[in-house]
Amino acid sequence: MYWHLIKIHIPLDWQFIQKYTPMYADAALLTLRIGSIGIVLSLAVGLICSLVQYLKVPILRHIVKCYIELSRNTPLLVQLFLLYFGLTKIGIRLSGETCAIIGLTFLGGSYMSEAFRSGLEAVERVQFESSLSLGLTRAQTMLYVLLPQAISVSVPAFCANIVFLIKETSVFSVVALADLMYVAKDLIGLYYKTNESLVMLVAFYLIILLPISLAAGWLERRLRHAGFGSTA
């Protein structure tokens, strides 16, 4: 009941913030570029894996299951260390950006696969069988009947995964990429401007993630009002 008596005052060096804002802007663009590539590739990997599981392709579905368990149960930081430092032991050298894209795709693919799979399972199986009986091929059935419904059902999961993957880019600094976290840690180490560096870090992540979250909420409401949120 005494919270109104507490005043928090955080002094900020606004000249420092103004000087290094362009550096954060460049880091944000790098974060967005790598994050976008990783998300697109994650969607492709997730779609392929979910189709393999849904269609119960022999052998491949067991490989996909192992991949999903491995990806979801190991931190991205560990995966990046393995790619950037571990592969050099066997003579394979990858750039930091390549490692970041591969790592984000490896992690995101499993989450997107589960989102696709849950959407496909929400569609009644009888629709698949009915489409085949009407003369559609398996590919046409998946493309024109099942996937549109599955994607509309899975929109909330996709949006949550996109936000999650963007936030995971904060560990890219371990592979020497000048992302937002790298810039913040560098400025703190050089100038001891902890408050200013962290305020700019939070601000730029909000600039990136808030529009995505708002757009995701808008899209979800539009689909729900349009009647795409249910497969019944």
The per-residue b/e assignment along 33-52, b for 16 or more CB within 10 angstroms, e otherwise, is: ebbeebbebbbebbbbbbbb
Measured CA to CA, the distance from residue 157 to residue 140 in angstroms comes to: 25
Provide CB contacts within 8 A for 116, sequence distance 6+: 46, 47, 49, 50, 51, 150, 151, 154
For the whole model, what pTM was predicted? Answer: 0.83
Question: How remote is the C-alpha of 47 from its chain's centroid?
Answer: 14
Measured CA to CA, the distance from residue 97 to residue 81 in angstroms comes to: 13
Measured CA to CA, the distance from residue 118 to residue 63 in angstroms comes to: 19
Measured CA to CA, the distance from residue 176 to residue 97 in angstroms comes to: 9
What φ, ψ does residue 169 adopt, rounded to 5°?
-65, -10
Closest CA to 115 of 152, 66, 70: 152
Closest CA to 150 of 127, 124, 116: 116
The pLDDT score that the predictor gives to residue 10 is 60
Measured CA to CA, the distance from residue 164 to residue 170 in angstroms comes to: 11
The pLDDT score that the predictor gives to residue 155 is 84
Measured CA to CA, the distance from residue 119 to residue 136 in angstroms comes to: 21
Q: What is the pLDDT along the chain (232 residues), one digit of tens a residue?
A: 444 544 455 678 888 888 889 999 999 999 999 999 999 999 999 999 998 888 888 889 999 999 999 999 999 989 999 999 888 888 889 888 999 999 999 999 999 999 988 888 888 877 777 777 777 777 787 787 888 888 888 888 888 899 999 989 888 888 878 888 889 999 998 888 888 889 999 999 999 999 988 888 888 777 767 655 544 4
Q: For CA atoms 19, 25, 26, 27, give the dihedral sign.
A: positive
The pLDDT score that the predictor gives to residue 4 is 53
Asked if 20 and 198 touch (Cβ cutoff 8 Å), the reply is no
Domains and CATH numbers, the chain: 33-226 (1.10.3720.10)
The two tokens of residue 153 are 């059902």
Measured CA to CA, the distance from residue 21 to residue 150 in angstroms comes to: 42
The residue count for the chain: 232
The pLDDT score that the predictor gives to residue 232 is 42
Could you give the maximum distance between any two Cα atoms of the chain, in Å?
73
The pLDDT score that the predictor gives to residue 228 is 55
